[in-house]
Structure 1
Amino acid sequence: MPKALVIVESPAKAKTIKRYLGSDYSVEASVGHIRDIIQPKNVKNDKRYDLTIHEDNSELHSYGIDVSGESPSENIWEPWYVVSENSKKTITQLRKALKSVDLLYLATDEDREGEAIAWHLVEVLKPKVPFYRMVFHEITEKAIVGALEQTRDIDMNLVAAQEARRIMDRMSGFGWSGVMRQVIGGGASGGPVQSPTTRRLVERERERIRFISADYCSLSASVRHKNAGDVFNTKLIEINNQKVVSGKNDFDENGELKKSNEVVVLDENRSNSLREALKSETLSVSSIERSPYQRKPKPPFTTSTFQQEVINKLGGSASAAMGIAQSLYQNGYITYHRTDSTALSDQAIEAARASIETECGIEYLPREVRTYENKTSSAQLAHEAIRPAGETFRHPDELKGDLNKDQLRVYEIIWKRTLASQMTDERGETARMLLSGAVSFDDSSESQTLIFSASGRVITHPGFRYIYEETPENDEEVAGEEILPDLPEGETVTIEGIEVKNHSTKPPARFTESSIVKWMEEVGIGRPSTFSATIGKIRAREYTYKEGRSLVPTVKGIVGTNFLELEFNEEVQYHNRANLEQSLDKIANGDKNRVETLDKWWFEPAIGFKHKLVDVEDKIQLGELPKLRHEIAHHVGFDPESNQNIYARFANQKPYVQYDIDGETASIPESLPPDQLTVPKAKEYLNAAAEPDQVLCEDPETGLDVVLRQGSYGWYVSLGHFPKWPRSSSPEGELMRLPHHLKPLKVAAAYLRSAVDPTDDEAILYLLNSPKRGIGKRSIEHFQTIAEDNQCSLLEAFQTGSVLKSGSSQESALEKLIQLITQYQKKQESERPSSLIRELLHDSGYWEEVLALKDPESKIKNIELFISALSKFDNCQVAVDVLFERERLKNTPRPKTASLIDGMDPETLTKEEALQLLSLPKVLEPDVDSQITPTNPDPETETSEEEIPEITVHNGPYGPYLRFGDDTRSLGDDDDPFTITYSRAREILSQPKQFRRRQSKEITLKNDDGSPCTDPVSEKPIVLKEGRFGPYVTDGDTNASLQLGDSVEQMNGERAKELLAERRAQQ
């Protein structure tokens, strides 16, 4: 029998499949994708580069994708793939395994990504043996053997669709991220799925911000019939034929009634008045309606509905749910978990019906099997729904010894949902009773007619609910059974109790991971395999964070969305991405051409993605960045007190609020929900920032002020004041914050300085060979000596002409420089600095020299930024003064600082404590108990010097600690860093090294029952550690940093699993 190699994606799947195949089969894992598109920075070093026509092929340099053919109609759209560094060892192993077999089976996942991986494997391995594509929905012996008998070729349409998506993702992601990082700052990024999804979260937050709450009351009465036994509840719904307001549907987002003439609002006074009037009154039955009802079960799980239900029932995140499903699939417990389909195979239906008959009884089996239509706009119907694997479904109780707690809970949900989807309807009866009465209240003598309503429900056959309780979608589904008495019309009941409740309408609820996944599926954004990764990426970029189960957008997320809505509005419209998904479906089905689709998306005049990207880059290069940043700021509101608008902005990795365009600023917490960032709240931060530094005392040694300040990481004291830089939005700030370390800006600044002051030797010296004038180092030194001997400026020394050879090109160039500076010294008195420096750079020849350099665009761009900043100034001298002030601020020493130690309160901090903090680090003085260590114990030596080891006390970012050479120890709570003695320090240092606060201290996370919390994928314990870059959780295989909104104190096992799952989804 021929030998065969089967390649799957994961080692876990390989291990499971190997159990079902004989010794003639070897099973290896590719460990996911083996190739990806080359990074743009590596393009020129690739051996393909010299063989490529790369003139005008900007896409190749920017994205690693060779787009251009010999003509626009022959574009090729060929990504340059490279083997991933992590896959090189795997490929070596696969090649070795391939040498000893006669057949190759490519058994990667059955979706587009799996098809692409299979194609990449063939492209890299170049097998000389026959190869076949092998697909299966579940990992069972029958499924695997069946797949071997029904192989096919690689579906190149699916590969083309996956490649088109990857190209779009690469180019839109890199393109957006490039401009967003210039406009918003480092870490900002965009993507074709993540950006519209972020926009939806932001839109909901805008709804919450606009929302104005309205107050109202409700009144309910508990009543009893003299012969009917139990009390039942009624609710007041009408007064004098007007509907009583009962919820948010009666109000608009401004808190105004939608139909003010048709409804009545009960306030607290009217409600209390009515309550008094109704005491011991009776109501009469006006009508009672009874009708049968039935509820159908929901379909078996798709990826989206699975994520929603697991999150709703068990908590956690979409990534965590998918991680558990992945482990269940790879180990043969469930079918493939990335699917849009609600279909079940005939085998699965038979297994479900057999389980229903065993578990529930034959009365819960419908006569005909149930089938379900897909409701999503672009479902891939080749797959089955998610269900238990196999010809018979294993009961969850059978798997208690095989699965961990999380895996078992998820399997049970899938098992129950699958069975429920094939069970009978829930059946029962609903009843609605209307009761009327009349009383006078509210200081009115006239009697007013009241209508009360009572509702009830009786379940006569639980149907699918016998085994599976679905997560309710609305309040009506939450209601349990309530039986109403069978009373005839006209019968009276007595009011026994009255309850008045105060209500306030609530803003629209924020999305949870469950509800945003549901929205993504309904709109058609993304694919099942991308839902969890998209949410994880949005959170990792800190466009949103989790508060409970809610996803709260950040200021960074709002500003990023504002930018994309402004410049790429069509691209972040929901229908746009849904249309692209449909185009990809057509490519996958062979109904659309990949190249034509990409050409239209990228190159279409005016609306193509490339054109919009170039437009934004042009705006940035033309100096419109400040304007653009202002346009995308989040408008908090208008402050009538200061007569200014307040904006929330994001820059330098932090959010802040600001008055108008260039007013005062103040940092705000990153996790402040935007709907709580009101004008009064913003003014609190602005007023606090405007308060002068709190000077505690004067340092007796230096005479500098000791200042108490609050920073991003808490309270601290400083010895002296920090230099105050101007606001970045001010003309001075804009000029100062340019990259002055770059040569083009140094030259431009030197020319401006020399025009204002020809005796500025530093500036003149920098200009001598900018552009090149051939003046050597020795000649320059001679000129400097002349200037020093004659106590004159360099320019005056040049005019002696005694250094350079008469008539030489150097002498001629120097004379032109002198004339140029003299000429522009006169011009600077009347010209604006922006126009003067442009002329000066051209007249000097420096502009032309820059244009002749290799890749001059970035250098010219920086000069234009300098000129743009100068355009805010009317006077050259003022602009030069700003340049000198920048140098002064840059060279001003940073004051010494010290963080407050745990237990210190900024409100009660004394000057003595502040001075003690600033005294650290300090050297401990030896005391009488100190042990002396002789450095030269040789007995033949007449004298031996004795050395006391130096021990210092420090205050680090994780608290006080001792240092002895390279050895350190943290100080415990019982040791005061200010009073600790040398002997005590020696004692601490002599003890075995324990975890220091700055080291990775491990805390094993626990479940609610106290058992160690294990990751559902790796099945290893999860620990919380303090690392070099902050706290993180790890299972030993995957590390995940804590995100915005997380804290060490509140970290638990469920959240840790989410973080690890999200991190895996990004890898």
Structure 2
Amino acid sequence: MRTDSPTLSSQAVDAARRQVTSLYGGEYLPDRPRVYTAKSKGAQEAHEAIRPAGETFRTPDQVARELDPDAQRLYDLVWKRTVASQMRDATGMRTQVRLTADAGEHGAATFQTSGKVITFPGFLRAYVEGSDDPDAELEDQERVLPPLRQGQEVDAREVEAKGHETQPPARYTEASLIRELEERGIGRPSTYASIIQTVQDRGYVWKKGTALIPTFTAFAVVNLLGHHFPDLVDYGFTARMEERLDEIAEGERQYKPWLHAFYFGDPEAPASEPMARNGLHRTIDEGWEAIDARAISSIPLGKDDEGREIAVRVGRYGPYVQIGDSDERASLPMEIAPDEITLDEVERLLHQESLSDRVLGNDPESHEPVYLKTGRYGPYFQLGEDPEPKSKEKPRRASLWPGMTMEDVTLEDALMALEFPKTLGKHPENGKDVTVQDGPNGPYVKAGVESRSIPGGHAEMAEMDLEGALKLLAQPKQFGRRQAQSVMKDLGEHPDTKLNLTVRSGRFGPYVTDGVVNASVPKGRDPQALTREEAIELIAAREEKMRSEGKDPRAKKPTTRRSSSGGRRSTGGTRGRRRSA
């Protein structure tokens, strides 16, 4: 079912009210049924809200044996939100206490804290349904302060100074972007998925975990539309257009006259809406001639020590950074986010570019030159010259291995990397070629459709033979968490925490861990060459970053346990706000 409606049918409302009375008593039931309306203008309310089925709701305990763990948690959430939506509001008292103290030469210091006491639990009572002690669960939501009176002197048993740093707004995720679109009246439930997919397919954003990272192509498109076609990126214009389309869908407006006016213009439209007055056709024709392609595809970053402008430009082959109009330029790596491009990073990229297109020597077999180059995916080796623009033949290329730097690589390093992918022989059972290759997630062996990661990294890849590859291929394939358990190196005990330090290979590359905190091994560093001291530094840096984000790196993680049916059951509870699902 697809619905974002909070509306319940009379049957569902009656069922919920009966259950409130039977489970909690009449004092929890409001005098009249509670009615909710959608906050979003674009809400599609053809369906009822998601709620327990039937004229009488079964409690989560009554259906527990019929559902798997995931379905149980889902039903529990839907049931609680539905029943809570027909209960009285919770009431309580909030108290705020301010204490002043003499801070010597710094003057008076003010300390404050807040307390909360629930006087009537109301709908909150439904959210603790199913717990062993509902009253204790409700008490956990309270914060009781000791009795105090105005002017009373108190003793400070302990004073702890805590730093607080404001954090920038979090990046959009798919869910938060949809929520923003919904609040602005843009899009509809049936179109949200295609909107999210389109901005990714067109290269306007890429995903880092769950976060949506904007690309410089998106910056250029916004520059173009914002400067030359501002109405097309005006939230109000888009929302009004959505409303007109809704009216057409509901038969309240004729589509042909509206489309004609949208494309060719409406002379009766107010002068304050030039897009509506001129129409799409004329707006684009007139605006297109004024476009400065270089200007809209340039994003200034600042100036160097000589006062020259440093800018990111979006070209045919991707974004690059350039100093003024000079030849000093460098491609930007694919995985870099716009806010990570500092002037220091620009200097590093330009220095890296200055080492590019360097001939390291000639291949002893083909006698072709071996180049060191840089591109959107970082530095790489290339055997032979660049191909002609329309040529289907591509020269052999290979990325630098961890531990290799552009300043220090040799011809031998390049030839070793260019040796892969390499065929080791035939698989004795299926006759497929057994190859060893280097991929985005590290080296691996492959035979037909079967592949296995090489746990020892590039050092093991360089020594891999057919016998070793067949042993790897004979092992069961690992997925998800099991894959992350592959230990690459044991570094011994942490001198302070006494926890064991290891280097492991994970889904997103090698990392070091003490069993509590994980820290990625930076690109370009060989995980096999890491020392215990370097691992301690990486973990300490990761802890510091987590603290700066307001997280406790050593906080106890929520545990999960296997249920008898094989699913995972979290020890944490589910909380929600009062309204129907």
Q: TM over 0.5, yes or no?
A: yes
Q: Partners of 2:103 and 2:351 in 1: how far apart?
A: 55
Does the C-alpha gap of structure 1 residues 590 and 363 become closer, same or farther in structure 2, counting only changes over 3 Å? same
TM-score, length basis structure 2: 0.64
Does the C-alpha gap of structure 1 residues 684 and 361 become closer, same or farther in structure 2, counting only changes over 3 Å? farther
Pairing of 1:633-1032 with structure 2 (within 5 A): 633-652=297-316, 654-660=318-324, 663-699=327-363, 705-713=369-377, 716-719=380-383, 722=386, 896-899=395-398, 905-906=404-405, 910-916=410-416
Q: Partners of 2:198 and 2:255 in 1: how far apart?
A: 27
Tell me, yes or no, if the aligned pair for 1:719 and 1:895 is still in contact at 8 Å: no
Letter in 2 for 1:441: E
Does the C-alpha gap of structure 1 residues 956 and 484 become closer, same or farther in structure 2, counting only changes over 3 Å? closer
Out of 442, 457, 460, the position equivalent to 2:119 is 460
Tell me, yes or no, if the aligned pair for 1:523 and 1:574 is still in contact at 8 Å: yes
Q: Partners of 1:462 and 1:544 in 2: how far apart?
A: 44
Out of 328, 339, 349, the position equivalent to 2:13 is 349
Tell me, yes or no, if the aligned pair for 1:524 and 1:578 is still in contact at 8 Å: yes
Does the C-alpha gap of structure 1 residues 529 and 459 become closer, same or farther in structure 2, counting only changes over 3 Å? same
Q: Partners of 2:462 and 2:96 in 1: how far apart?
A: 76
Tell me, yes or no, if the aligned pair for 1:545 and 1:551 is still in contact at 8 Å: yes
Q: What is the SS of the residue equivalent to 2:292? A: helix
Partner residue in 1 for 2:263: 602
**Structure number with bigger Rg:** 1
Q: Partners of 1:1007 and 1:977 in 2: how far apart?
A: 21
Q: Partners of 2:103 and 2:202 in 1: how far apart?
A: 61
Deviations 1:827-856 (A, max 9, x none): xxxxxxxxxxxxxxxxxxxxxxxxxxxxxx
CA displacement at 1:366 relative to structure 2? 2.0
Deviations 1:83-128 (A, max 9, x none): xxxxxxxxxxxxxxxxxxxxxxxxxxxxxxxxxxxxxxxxxxxxxx
Tell me, yes or no, if the aligned pair for 2:422 and 2:436 is still in contact at 8 Å: no
Letter in 2 for 1:577: T
Q: Partners of 2:81 and 2:423 in 1: how far apart?
A: 69
Q: What is the SS of the residue equivalent to 2:313? A: strand
Pairing of 1:65-214 with structure 2 (within 5 A): none
CA displacement at 1:404 relative to structure 2? 4.6
CA displacement at 1:628 relative to structure 2? 3.5
Q: What is the SS of the residue equivalent to 1:585? A: helix
Deviations 1:753-791 (A, max 9, x none): xxxxxxxxxxxxxxxxxxxxxxxxxxxxxxxxxxxxxxx
Q: What is the SS of the residue equivalent to 1:409? A: helix
Q: What is the SS of the residue equivalent to 2:191? A: helix
Partner residue in 2 for 1:414: 78
Does the C-alpha gap of structure 1 residues 399 and 542 become closer, same or farther in structure 2, counting only changes over 3 Å? farther
Q: Partners of 1:391 and 1:601 in 2: how far apart?
A: 48
Q: Partners of 1:488 and 1:922 in 2: how far apart?
A: 81
Pairing of 1:176-255 with structure 2 (within 5 A): none
Out of 356, 364, 372, the position equivalent to 2:28 is 364
Q: What is the SS of the residue equivalent to 2:149? A: coil
Does the C-alpha gap of structure 1 residues 655 and 375 become closer, same or farther in structure 2, counting only changes over 3 Å? same
Partner residue in 2 for 1:630: 294
Q: Which has the higher helix share?
A: 1
Partner residue in 2 for 1:611: 282
Out of 49, 53, 72, the position equivalent to 1:389 is 53
CA displacement at 1:441 relative to structure 2? 1.4
Q: What is the SS of the residue equivalent to 1:657? A: strand
Q: Partners of 2:103 and 2:414 in 1: how far apart?
A: 72
Partner residue in 2 for 1:562: 223
Q: What is the SS of the residue equivalent to 1:495? A: coil
Q: Partners of 2:20 and 2:449 in 1: how far apart?
A: 68
Letter in 2 for 1:899: A
Partner residue in 2 for 1:500: 161
Tell me, yes or no, if the aligned pair for 1:601 and 1:608 is still in contact at 8 Å: yes
Q: Partners of 1:522 and 1:969 in 2: how far apart?
A: 46
Letter in 1 for 2:99: L
Partner residue in 1 for 2:539: none
Deviations 1:652-705 (A, max 9, x none): 463322334564332223332222223332332233213344544455567665
Q: Partners of 1:960 and 1:344 in 2: how far apart?
A: 55
Deviations 1:937-984 (A, max 9, x none): xxxxxxxxxxxxxx9997756568799xx999999789988888xxx7
Partner residue in 2 for 1:1058: none
Tell me, yes or no, if the aligned pair for 1:720 and 1:895 is still in contact at 8 Å: no
Q: Partners of 2:149 and 2:344 in 1: how far apart?
A: 58
Q: Partners of 1:559 and 1:1002 in 2: how far apart?
A: 43
Tell me, yes or no, if the aligned pair for 2:373 and 2:382 is still in contact at 8 Å: yes
Tell me, yes or no, if the aligned pair for 1:658 and 1:664 is still in contact at 8 Å: yes
Q: Partners of 1:914 and 1:376 in 2: how far apart?
A: 58
Does the C-alpha gap of structure 1 residues 659 and 972 become closer, same or farther in structure 2, counting only changes over 3 Å? closer
Tell me, yes or no, if the aligned pair for 2:330 and 2:353 is still in contact at 8 Å: yes
Tell me, yes or no, if the aligned pair for 2:205 and 2:213 is still in contact at 8 Å: yes
- Residue 338 (structure 1) aligned with residue 3 (structure 2): yes
- Residue 527 (structure 1) aligned with residue 188 (structure 2): yes
Tell me, yes or no, if the aligned pair for 2:420 and 2:437 is still in contact at 8 Å: no
Out of 90, 114, 119, the position equivalent to 1:426 is 90
Does the C-alpha gap of structure 1 residues 413 and 969 become closer, same or farther in structure 2, counting only changes over 3 Å? closer
Cα RMSD (Å): 4.6
Q: Partners of 2:284 and 2:73 in 1: how far apart?
A: 47
Does the C-alpha gap of structure 1 residues 900 and 952 become closer, same or farther in structure 2, counting only changes over 3 Å? farther
Q: Partners of 1:923 and 1:550 in 2: how far apart?
A: 39
Letter in 2 for 1:513: E
Out of 224, 236, 249, the position equivalent to 1:575 is 236
Letter in 1 for 2:354: A
CA displacement at 1:1002 relative to structure 2? 6.7
Letter in 2 for 1:611: R
CA displacement at 1:919 relative to structure 2? 6.5
Deviations 1:146-195 (A, max 9, x none): xxxxxxxxxxxxxxxxxxxxxxxxxxxxxxxxxxxxxxxxxxxxxxxxxx
Does the C-alpha gap of structure 1 residues 992 and 410 become closer, same or farther in structure 2, counting only changes over 3 Å? same
Q: Partners of 1:454 and 1:992 in 2: how far apart?
A: 63
Letter in 1 for 2:234: Q
Structure 1 regions of 5+ residues with no counterpart? 1-325, 327-336, 443-447, 470-478, 724-888, 926-950, 1011-1025, 1027-1052, 1055-1067
CA displacement at 1:459 relative to structure 2? 0.9
CA displacement at 1:370 relative to structure 2? 1.2
Letter in 2 for 1:416: K
Q: Partners of 1:517 and 1:462 in 2: how far apart?
A: 33
Pairing of 1:288-327 with structure 2 (within 5 A): 326=1
Deviations 1:906-950 (A, max 9, x none): 57755445445556799999xxxxxxxxxxxxxxxxxxxxxxxxx
Q: Partners of 1:590 and 1:968 in 2: how far apart?
A: 56
Q: Partners of 1:646 and 1:348 in 2: how far apart?
A: 62
Q: What is the SS of the residue equivalent to 1:425? A: coil
Q: What is the SS of the residue equivalent to 2:154? A: strand
- Residue 541 (structure 1) aligned with residue 202 (structure 2): yes
Residue identity (%): 33
